[in-house]
Amino acid sequence: MADNQTTTEEQNATKRIVILGGAESGVGSALLAKAKGFDVFVSDSSILQENYRKTLIDNDIAFEEQGHTEEFILIADEVIKSPGIPENASMVRKVTRQQIPIISEIEFAARYTKAKMIGITGSNGKSTTTLLTHHLLTQAGFKVGLAGNIGESFAKQVVDDAYDFFVVEVSSFQLDNCYEFRPHLSMLINITEDHMDRYENNINKYIASKFKVIQKQTPEDYFLYNIDDANVTERLQKITEGIVGVSEGEEPAPNRTLPYCLPISLKNADPEKAKEQSLSYWDEENGNIVLNFSDRGSDEQKTMTVPVADLPLPGKHNIFNAMIALQACHILGASPVVLHEGLKNFSNAPHRMEEVAELSEVKFINDSKSTNIDSAFYALDSIKMGEDERKLVWIAGGVDKGNDYEKIRDLVAKKVKILICLGLDNEKLHNTFRETVHVTIRTQQINEAVEQAFDLARPGDTVLLSPACASYDLFKNYEERGDSFKKAVQKLVRLKSRKKKR
């Protein structure tokens, strides 16, 4: 074994890996490439964060920042590209013209792990589902890592490869440069229009990107999917019938082998038929979710019932997220009793329906991770209202990614009384809703947005930051936007508290 490893590292030493992007995924990839004996070079067009620069220096990894040097890059045997860099970036186009393979960190790291992978994708709900799945498996005693589009770099964790399982959140951008990545169990939560600017405003290209999560799965693997989502079911049907390939550019294959496909639904179902179809569903009338599953080639039906009241997060979308996470853990062998217990002590990620504070009976909620229309819809829908009374002050706006606000007009009309548009250019958002809500305000300052929201709110109201837009007009990312909101709320709480003491 040691001799084989030495031989592999000697072979790798003659191969050059260039990594475009020197943040979490790029530096993690560099560490893994270095550990496997490759000649490694990292190139970033921006200034590296100090912690990443120090890591590269400490590990004797060559790098450059504030620009790309062609003669260092175009001699690569393979390029690992950060998911944030678009395909039409100048250096990416040059690499492509040289016919140098471009892969993602996910693809690279997956080559070197012995762990079984759980791959989770979708337009909305990925992070919540990923965190819940990881939490439940950890509670059930699995040796499981958390990686991908969340937390610490997948590649960095594979250097030690200390886990039996990895729960991997994968975005469409990461999947675009995956070719051999094979999860043992994959989940597709939903597909709604998002990132259309990266997919030539073509929803079919985006759908094909999401479906790459199953491209290398075999009948021994599992695919959990949202049977209520037309974009998902129509594409799956076309793949099954051999009308389209799994991914963009793949040839249709009428006899293509697929993983074991298990549908998840928020609609009620006939209990016996659901068992036959291994369909998991929401029995709303009795307040339960019902998870059905049987292994291929087995007549043994496994059913688990969980009261919705035991689920840790509000909203219909989170019922679905919990169902698909629980079903995955159920399939992997976690005990139903342990899973029930695990639900009780789960905390969601920051910036996702995060309760920040309550001041004078006004509740502040941070949902900064909401960067598209559907995500904002789920957030608005999950807030309970009084009878015939709007109770929401909604802070929204930022960089519009081609949003169709008409999709949520009725919900906004029902729930929102005040809209505060936060961003450099929110003309479209403002114009869409100025006659729908009682008051619309525009600002470019998060502190001003919070102060005005509180001044206009009444006891019992909720101030919800759920932008439905990207953040990079005023902030570096959604995390900075959410943190700024929380700081502004906490500053307001301290100010009001001091005034009371006087």
Going from the C-alpha of 206 to that of each of 123, 222, 240, 428, the distances in angstroms are 10, 22, 19, 24
Enumerate residues 6+ apart whose C-beta is below 8 A from 292: 274, 275, 277, 278, 279, 280, 301, 302, 303
- d(Cα 293, Cα 279) in Å, to the nearest integer? 7
- d(Cα 298, Cα 437) in Å, to the nearest integer? 55
| 8 A C-beta contact, residue 370 and residue 338 | no
125 carries a ligand binding annotation: yes
- d(Cα 210, Cα 6) in Å, to the nearest integer? 37
| 8 A C-beta contact, residue 109 and residue 155 | yes
- d(Cα 363, Cα 493) in Å, to the nearest integer? 11
Token pair 């084989």 in the structure block, residue: 4
Q: Sign of dihedral through CA atoms 127, 128, 134, 138?
A: positive
Q: In the chain, what's the furthest Cα-to-Cα distance? A: 77
Residue-wise DSSP of 14-59: TSEEEEE--SHHHHHHHHHHHHTT-EEEEE-SSPPPHHHHHHHHHT
User: What is the 8-class DSSP label of residue 213?
Assistant: G
122 carries a ligand binding annotation: yes
- d(Cα 388, Cα 247) in Å, to the nearest integer? 47
124 carries a ligand binding annotation: yes
128 carries a ligand binding annotation: yes
Provide the β-strand partners of residue 16.
39
Going from the C-alpha of 75 to that of each of 34, 93, 100, 495, the distances in angstroms are 17, 15, 9, 58
190 carries a ligand binding annotation: no
Listed in sequence order, the DSSP H helices in 122-190 are 126-139, 154-158, 172-176
Count of CA atoms in the C-beta half-sphere (13 A) of 401: 20
- d(Cα 424, Cα 473) in Å, to the nearest integer? 6
- d(Cα 9, Cα 73) in Å, to the nearest integer? 21
| 8 A C-beta contact, residue 411 and residue 381 | yes
Count of CA atoms in the C-beta half-sphere (13 A) of 313: 25
- d(Cα 165, Cα 143) in Å, to the nearest integer? 6
- d(Cα 450, Cα 364) in Å, to the nearest integer? 9
Q: Which amino acids are annotated as binding site for ATP, given as ranges? A: 122-128
Q: Which amino acids are annotated as binding site, given as ranges? A: 122-128
